[in-house]
Chain A
Amino acid sequence: MGGYAAYIWPSYGFTALVLVALLISAWRTMRVRESEVERLRGLGADPRRRDGTSKDAV
């Protein structure tokens, strides 16, 4: 790397670190929340199933 490895690899490393962290955190938050939604719906707490008039259809 022409003597500049000490600058080039940290830039690629930092970039990878941030991008992977963004991806993992977005993925995990989504999985945790969606499985919690499933769990609560299993408890029969779905307002749509009870009255069928919920405005917010997800």
Chain B
Amino acid sequence: MGRFWAIMSRDLTLARRQGADLAMTVSFFVVVVVLFPLGLGPTPGQLAEIAPAVLWVTALLAAMLSFDRLFQQDSEDGGLDQLALSGLPLSVVALAKALAHWLTTGLPMIVLAPVLAITLNLDGDAYWALILGFILGTPIVSLFGTVGAALVVGARRAGVLVALIVLPLTIPVLIFGTLAIDAAANGLSIRVHLLMLAAILAAAIPLAPMAAGAALRQALE
């Protein structure tokens, strides 16, 4: 357990020291969301209608920007071999990495999403659905992204490749995340959609690190 926290806090320290990386991901999220009102023009109804999709799609794209670096640096400087020799299963290493990734990109986006939703005139009843959806959905994205990041270690054009691989897998998250917000805005129950997200998360917490661990083992051979 100690080694798990050590890996995670190492990643967090790295993220803090290279603060620019983290700031870039979060700024990308903000800038792209703000582009939509500017592109659409100031029609409030229209904006509110597309707000759920804009927030979720942009969050997915912003997350994609950060995955190619998740294992790349460790693989280049030999840190990945060290982690493999640490005696900790690679799946647990992957889980620690995913958690660190979520804390540095998912969490800031959860905080920012409601603020940005204001600029998109999101319906007042929909904020809870947005926040709860992000709380359940962003860890799934981090977990799936960790699998993709482990697969593309050492690949050419790893950044584009990881997006090509991971984005299709995140489609269910996008669907249920936006459905929850739409349902809340129309005064319907958001329970089913959030339960679906929770179910995907519950399945992804054990399965995604296992897949990522397998991918890392292949990468180290």
Q: Do chains A and B touch in the complex (CB under 8 A)?
A: no
> Which B positions have Cβ atoms within 8 angstroms of A?
none
> Which A positions have Cβ atoms within 8 angstroms of B?
none
